[in-house]
């Protein structure tokens, strides 16, 4: 699983942030590693030093043999963005892989 980080935040230690991203993704989506070819993660400060939830974060996962999962959100800090999107990626990847295993005619009726 190849992980890349694009960081457009002033005064941010990119190496430290990449280490946190690798650890957090390992916990959150490590179980899906055999189905993942690459992860692209980007964080951007959208309104400068004014404060608030101004860190725009996006993550894109390319799955094997094909498919893409994307999540995004706004957070107060880059660290919260990594934690939040890692969790959301886990749920989105699980949902995507479950859909691949269940075809349209295989779904059971909810009515019983």
Residues 81, 9: Cα–Cα separation, whole Å = 13
Domains of the chain, earliest start first: 2-103 (3.30.160.100)
* pLDDT per position as a tens digit, 72-103: 999 989 999 999 999 999 999 999 999 887 65
Q: Would you state the pLDDT for residue 112?
A: 46
Higher pLDDT, 52 or 59: 59
For 7, counting Cβ atoms within 10 Å of its Cβ (0-12 exposed, 13-18 middle, 19+ buried), the class is middle
* pLDDT per position as a tens digit, 4-44: 999 988 778 889 999 999 999 999 999 999 999 999 999 99
Can you list the positions of beta strands (E) in 23-76? 36-45, 55-63, 68-75
């Amino acid at each position: 699983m190849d992980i890349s980080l694009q960081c457009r935040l002033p005064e941010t230690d990119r190496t430290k942030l990449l280490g946190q991203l690798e650890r957090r993704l390992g916990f959150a989506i490590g179980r899906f590693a055999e189905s993942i070819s690459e992860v692209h993660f980007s964080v951007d400060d959208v309104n400068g030093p004014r404060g608030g939830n101004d860190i725009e974060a996006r993550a894109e996962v390319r799955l094997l043999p094909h498919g893409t999962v994307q999540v995004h959100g706004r957070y107060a800090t880059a660290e919260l963005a990594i934690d939040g999107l890692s969790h959301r990626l886990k749920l989105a990847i699980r949902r995507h892989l479950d859909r691949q295993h269940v075809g349209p005619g295989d779904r059971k009726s909810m009515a019983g």
